[in-house]
A = this chain, B = another copy of it.
């Protein structure tokens, strides 16, 4: 259970906002942490130099196993020395298992005990993903944090269907664990120096499922704990359910999760969501909102969201966010960003994405500092009060 690939330090009680540190061979990661999403080996529109720059200083990014597996494929990434070397990123990487992407294909996939059969969105070819395949792919990617292959119940699942899905996830978690362990052992036995190994120094996180059913969620937590992982994630939320459902699940489950392991709320969320989840003791987040919304012209600011398309910004020489220290706000006006967006200039996406990521990552820096200084409730109250005052 004590994996040298990752250690987690925190001194907080369960179910409270907590600051901590993830120690990885790729550097220290202060928590609570937000992970920008690098779907296909690129955080869309952002150079790695910008991710490393003090504006953003992203310590860990997420890669999607499903996308990378289908294209460029594992053979290419392996021959280029693993995902870090392939994309040119030396800091930490977390990869999801592909389970959620395959689940999202809906009618295009068929789930069995063995795994999931589906058609590739790239070339229509028939593909098969299972716990074992997912672990093998993630070993080849060489990500620092590997996620178990899970199944996500539909939001409207009947109780029996939700139970079956949760139980399948539990069995897949065990198979993921076994294949992961043997892959780590193979790498350790290979005699390769640590720096050359693609895996052998990876951490594995389990995922708690169970839809909106708290009893199933508790059982899923129990069965995930029995298998045992380096960290624990809450999955299957932020997939279209009512917000309150998410908070009921997080509020029930987070305090029951082991305090000495990182807690990861997958696919969440807005800045307000991050702060709410932090109060329940969640440590890690990922979400496409800052990048995706940046590309569709929406800025997240300390005074709320701002739609750059709005005519009211046409001659507005103020930055997106007057309180923001990022390089976009230091240099460019709303008027210019609106012009770029309406003209279809790529630079609109680049700059809005940069600002949005800066805002998310800066907010999390503020969260960590306020937790450490005991001022998190005040920080959160003031943060929340400022939102919605941008006059849009």
Contact = CB atoms under 8 A, between A and B. Distances in A.
A38 B1 CA distance: 56
B40 A331 contact: no
Interface string A225-241: 00000000000000000
B87 A336 contact: yes
A343 interface: yes
Nearest to A328: B47
A333 B71 contact: no
A80 interface: yes
Chain B CB within 10 A, most for which of A40, A46, A81, A339: A339
Q: Taking the full assembly, how many copies of this chain does it contain?
A: 2
B80 A343 contact: no
Contact of A44 (B46, B327, B342, B346): B346
A349 B345 CA distance: 12
A79 B335 CA distance: 10
A55 to B, nearest CB: 11
A41 interface: yes
Contact of A335 (B86, B315, B343): B86
Contacts of A349: 346
A49 interface: yes
Interface string A344-359: 0111011100000000
Nearest to A43: B347
A66 to B, nearest CB: 13
Contacts of A45: 346-347, 350
Given A47-B351, A339-B71, A76 B315 contact: yes
A258 interface: no
A349 B315 CA distance: 29
A227 to B, nearest CB: 34
Contacts of A67: 343
Give the 5 A-B CB pairs with smallest separation, nearest first. Answer: A72-B339, A88-B331, A42-B347, A42-B345, A79-B315
5 contacts: A40-B339, A44-B345, A86-B336, A88-B331, A88-B332
